């Protein structure tokens, strides 16, 4: 086992986490830690996960770090893009033996019991079987993980030293992972924009941290577009687990129709975007425009409504808009 204090690691990676990010890193420090982070959009969650993952991999030999993302695109183009970037720095300065796979989410060290890998949450069989005295299991965008997969995640944590880090924008209060806040082993961290905290007179406390990384423009857009009382504002800005009254996803039948009749949906401007990176999960990222509602109706003839998905438009934002 090799020790690696946070200040040393910050210097090695040339990173400077803010208070909220540092709180996550501190919480994942103890062996056997179980941490649930529910955060607003934009506080640097991906950055923090990458730092936590690489810090663990460097600190413990042997060790295994497993990252699991709610979607293929999230894993490939966001989380592992950040991990590879920072891992390259460590390879060049401290770990020339590391082999960073350029296309697959994997870092090898030359040792069978010392590596990092990532995958999307679409196969429970992939989850099970990863065991190490120093295992760190990270779940990114955890609200998108199906309920049946959580048993598989928990089954990997067979050693009292194993760690679990769950990071997400909150979803339903009655579903995983939010229901885990009732577990005495879980350390719950909530992150909200500092601007909102200042407006409401909220003070930072143990378990509640403020981020300075949220733009005023983004906040004002959400206030205006969704309203302060909307579920989506409470989830993505206030980091509260609330029951959304609207389904943020189209149902599978509609999505399959979109893919099988793709040409019919051209010319919709910025009304619809699809996660083109991984067609099989049928994830839709959309800002629903009422004038397009007539194109999709249920069996009773009611117009189908939806809201923006929690993730950004795939690729470089507007490129996949049809």
Give the pLDDT of residue 295. Answer: 44
H or E, element range at 28: none
Give the pLDDT of residue 63. Answer: 96
Residue whose pair of structure tokens reads 């033996």 in the numeric block: 97
Handedness of CA 42, 43, 44, 46 (dihedral sign): negative
Cis bond upstream, residue 273 (ω within 30): no
Closest Cα partner for 50 from 159, 136, 122?
136
Cis bond upstream, residue 177 (ω within 30): yes
d(CA 48, CA 11): 15
pTM of the model: 0.77
- pLDDT, tens digit (0-9, with 9 covering 90-100), for 48-101: 999 999 999 999 999 999 999 877 667 777 899 999 999 999 999 899 999 999
Strands 135-140 and 186-193, bridge-based pairing = unpaired
d(CA 150, CA 129): 14
Average pLDDT, the chain: 77
d(CA 167, CA 35): 8
Strands 106-111 and 114-120, bridge-based pairing = antiparallel
* Residue 70 CA: distances (Å) to CA of 78, 118, 149, 278: 12, 11, 11, 12
Q: Are 213 and 45 in contact (CB under 8 A)?
A: no
Distinct helix (H) and strand (E) counts, the chain: 11, 11
- pLDDT, tens digit (0-9, with 9 covering 90-100), for 15-29: 788 999 999 999 999
Closest Cα partner for 119 from 160, 156, 162?
156
Closest Cα partner for 197 from 187, 208, 186?
208
Closest Cα partner for 322 from 276, 279, 281?
276
Handedness of CA 12, 15, 16, 22 (dihedral sign): negative
- pLDDT, tens digit (0-9, with 9 covering 90-100), for 163-221: 999 999 998 898 999 999 999 999 999 999 999 999 999 999 999 999 999 989 889 88
Confidence of residue 118 (pLDDT cuts 50, 70, 90): very high
Q: What is the mean pLDDT of residues 126-152?
A: 86
Least confidently predicted of 10-14, 43-47, 142-146:
10-14
Q: Are 219 and 65 in contact (CB under 8 A)?
A: no
* Residue 14 CA: distances (Å) to CA of 7, 17, 23, 80, 122: 10, 10, 18, 18, 34
Q: Are 140 and 53 in contact (CB under 8 A)?
A: no
Q: Are 28 and 52 in contact (CB under 8 A)?
A: yes
Secondary structure E strands in the chain: 34-39, 63-69, 99-100, 106-111, 114-120, 135-140, 163-168, 186-193, 208-211, 273-274, 284-285
Strand partners, 137: 66, 164
Residue 51, both tokens? 């730092």
Give the pLDDT of residue 73. Answer: 66
């Amino acid at each position: 086992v090799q020790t690696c204090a946070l200040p040393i690691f910050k210097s090695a990676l040339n990173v400077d986490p803010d208070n909220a990010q540092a709180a996550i890193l501190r919480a994942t420090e103890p062996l056997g830690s179980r941490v649930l982070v529910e955060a607003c959009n934009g506080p640097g969650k991906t950055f923090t996960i990458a730092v936590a993952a690489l810090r663990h991999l460097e600190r413990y030999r042997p060790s295994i770090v497993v990252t699991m993302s709610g979607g293929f695109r999230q894993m490939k183009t966001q989380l592992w893009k950040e991990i590879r970037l920072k891992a390259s720095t460590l390879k060049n300065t401290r770990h020339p033996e590391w082999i960073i796979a350029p296309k697959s989410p994997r870092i090898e060290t030359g040792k069978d019991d010392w590596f990092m890998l990532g995958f999307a949450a679409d196969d429970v069989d992939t989850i099970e079987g990863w065991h190490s005295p120093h295992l760190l299991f990270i779940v990114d965008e955890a609200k998108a993980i199906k309920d049946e997969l959580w048993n598989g995640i928990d089954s990997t944590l067979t050693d009292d030293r194993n760690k679990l880090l769950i990071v997400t924008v909150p979803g339903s209060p009655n579903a995983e992972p939010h229901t885990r806040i009732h577990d005495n082993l879980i350390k719950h961290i909530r992150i909200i924009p500092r601007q909102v905290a200042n407006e409401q007179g909220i003070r930072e406390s143990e378990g509640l941290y403020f981020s300075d990384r949220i733009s005023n423009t983004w906040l004002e857009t959400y206030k205006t577009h969704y309203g302060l009382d909307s579920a989506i504002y409470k989830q993505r800005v206030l980091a509260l687990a609330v029951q959304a009254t609207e389904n943020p996803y189209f149902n599978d039948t509609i999505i399959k129709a979109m893919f099988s009749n793709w040409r019919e949906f051209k010319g919709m401007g910025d009304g619809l975007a699809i996660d083109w990176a991984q067609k099989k999960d049928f994830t839709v990222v959309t800002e629903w425009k009422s004038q397009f509602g007539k194109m999709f109706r249920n069996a009773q003839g009611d117009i189908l409504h939806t809201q923006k998905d929690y993730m950004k438009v795939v690729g470089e934002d507007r490129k996949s808009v049809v």
